Amino acid sequence: MKLAIIGSGPLAIFCAQYFDQIGAEVTLFQKNALGGNVRFLLDHFPEMEVTYQNQTKTIKSLWDENITPAITDLEERHLTKAGEVLRVHKRFLHPEETITNKSRLHDLFRVIYSVNPKEAILKQLEENPDMFKQLGEQVMNSLHLPVESFEDFDLVIEARGFGRTALGMGPSNAMALNENNIKEVAALYYEKDIFSKLTFAGKKHLILVGHSETAILALLKCKEWIFSNPKHSLSWVTSASVNKKLKNNWLNIELEKLLHFSQALFNKEKSEFEKKMHDWRDLEDYIKVKIPKPIEPEAKLKVFQGYDVTSVDRLLDREGVFTTIETPDFRDYAKTPNDLKTLPAEAILVSCGVDPLDSKALGLQAHEPGFYQLNATDLTEGLAQIKLIEEKILAFFSRAQ
């Protein structure tokens, strides 16, 4: 049984290892370096705690003890294939087509993937320098375009995780007004781009939209920047309540600590302001005119819970991005019903999740036999889904008589 697994994250890795161990002929297609979101978390939050096989582990221990050995095993036995999967379809079978006296599994799945021929050739040149003389420089220069290749499989499991398309910042995670028009030219950062592309240089105000796990990680990433300068501030816009609990308890604890720290700092600054204001009012008028009135402090971390982003805009005469946020009249946790505000910022961080329906499948039935998706939001849920997929696959087979 030839099985293709699409993805480079931990679930794709464990899925490949699991089916290999039960005898499937596995090929894991990886667009990026194996490790996915755990590799990314290792760089930014190695102390983060996750649950794996009923154990609480830090990201670093999970990487060292479980993921690295699995990657090494898969790579040493050449079960991985570098390349971006572009689409998956049946070789010939159309969605509405049937085969007399046979199931749809009779026709194999075709996995189309993109490879960079230049990278492959350069790797070979390292091993055989004389090859360059035979190919010539002109031939080498012609290898800059990617080439599509394919391989056929009995079964396919799509486990791309955070490799999917990011959802918009508007209501119901659709695009807000103008979001699609400006996302390529404005400073909008989606999901992993928040960590890989965002720079704090020259920025004083940021807006974070969403209440996903990535949103809380983004808050933690920005924590040092927020409180490092009195002029820095971050506005967190979430349609949910800030008390909404996530599956990962470590994130819940860290968020609670951050909000408590921010509120305590603001309360301290407010108390100091009130004392300064009281002292300033007690000054004689001729002295008061020479001393500036104390400036009322603002919270460095401003939380707008119960709000949806309804539009984003850029102005010709001003730098930055302007976000319009609104509350409906039915969210009890929104402090001001039917409120409308405009928030300015140098950048917007969008962390509203990824589209679980975004798939590489093309021309397959809605529930195509033999094509499966791992859509888990954590490792525990994902490992359980792998077991369920195994049960569905085994249902295709009958005991030998």
Distance CA 173, CA 167 (A): 6
CA distances from 212 to 188, 219, 246, 272, 333 (A): 17, 11, 8, 35, 18
What is the distance between the alpha carbons of residues 269 and 296, in angstroms, rounded to a whole number? 9
| Contact call for residues 244 and 211 (beta carbons, < 8 A) | yes
Q: What is the chain's Cα-based Rg?
A: 27
pLDDT in tens, 155-164: 999 998 777 8
pLDDT the model gives residue 362: 86
Q: What is the mean pLDDT of residues 142-152?
A: 80
Domain spans of the chain? 2-163+355-394, 171-350
Q: What is the DSSP letter of 398?
A: -
According to CATH, the topology of domain 171-350 is FAD/NAD(P)-binding domain (3.50.50)
Highest mean pLDDT among 183-192, 207-216, 391-400: 207-216
From the list 14, 2, 32, 11, the residue with the least C-alpha distance to 111 is 2
Per-residue confidence at 206, pLDDT binned at 50, 70, 90? very high
pLDDT value at position 127? 63
Q: What percent of the chain has pLDDT over 90?
A: 76
Residues 81, 86, 87, 92, CA torsion sign: negative
Q: Please tell me what DSSP assigns to residue 65.
A: I
Is domain 2-163+355-394 in CATH 3.50.50.60, yes or no? yes
What is the separation, in whole angstroms, between the first and last Cα of the chain? 20
Quick one: pLDDT at residue 116?
74
For the ranges 3-12, 121-130, 181-190, the lowest mean pLDDT is seen at: 121-130
pLDDT for 117 equals: 67
Q: Would you say how long the chain is, in residues?
A: 401
Residue 295 has pLDDT above 70, yes or no: yes
Question: Tell me, what's the pLDDT at 222?
Answer: 96
pLDDT in tens, 207-237: 999 999 999 999 999 999 999 999 999 999 9
User: Is the pLDDT confidence value at 137 over 80?
Assistant: no
> Averaged over 104-127, what is the pLDDT?
78
Which pLDDT belongs to residue 316?
Answer: 74
d(CA 395, CA 204): 58
The pLDDT value given to residue 140: 56
Strand partners for 315: 318
Q: How many CA atoms lie less than 13 Å away from 189 in the CB half-sphere? A: 21
Q: What's the pLDDT tens digit per position in 43-97? A: 889 999 999 988 999 999 999 999 999 999 999 999 999 999 999 999 999 999 9
What's the token pair of residue 183? 């996302």
Identical fold, 2-163+355-394 and 171-350:
yes
Q: What contacts 32, CB < 8 A, 6 or more positions away?
A: 8, 163
Query: Each residue of 1-39: pLDDT tens digit?
Result: 999 999 999 999 999 999 999 999 999 999 989 998 888
pLDDT of residue 95: 94
Structure tokens at 212: 């996903």
Residues 363-386: pLDDT tens digits? 899 899 999 999 887 888 899 999
* pTM for the structure as a whole: 0.85
Digit-coded pLDDT (tens) for 301-359? 999 999 999 999 988 777 889 999 999 999 999 999 999 999 999 999 999 998 888 89
